[in-house]
Amino acid sequence: MSNPLSRVFQRQSLRDHVRRSLEAGVGLYHTTWRLESDSTHMANTLIVWCREVLGQTHRPYGLDYVTLTLAVLDEDNVQQASSNCGILRPQDFYSEGAAETQIHEVLLQWTGAQVPESSRLSAVLFSWGDLTRELLLSA
């Protein structure tokens, strides 16, 4: 007897289901803040938000990977800068892990550049575990 994960991957409609799930926002967490000049405070606020979101995500079969993308948006929602922190794990958001370091470096660079006061920081965290759980439940 095959396990639920292998049954999902054997289905022809997997791509369609993944697309529909992503379009429905499965695994996507988004927030925005006014971009402040204090990059350390902004970074710490963002890291706390990421940790809270990570506590809500699903981790089927131990799959705890997430992807974090950041962007600076102007008052007209035009993207001024962006950074993809890549594929991360929860421990990367603790004890000066990879995510913490990247977030601090990116925000230091962005707040050092002369960005308008009306700029906003947009953060999107995607949970690979949430998507996998959705696919498993549909099997």
Q: Judge contact between 17 and 24, C-beta under 8 A.
A: no
pTM: 0.84
pLDDT at 66: 97
pLDDT at 7: 64
| Radius of gyration, alpha carbons of the chain | 17
pLDDT at 137: 83
* Tokens coding 97: 């892990």
What averages of pLDDT result for each successive group of 10 residues across the chain (139 residues)?
A: 62 76 92 91 96 94 95 92 94 91 93 80 96 85
> What's the CATH architecture for 28-129?
2-Layer Sandwich (3.30)
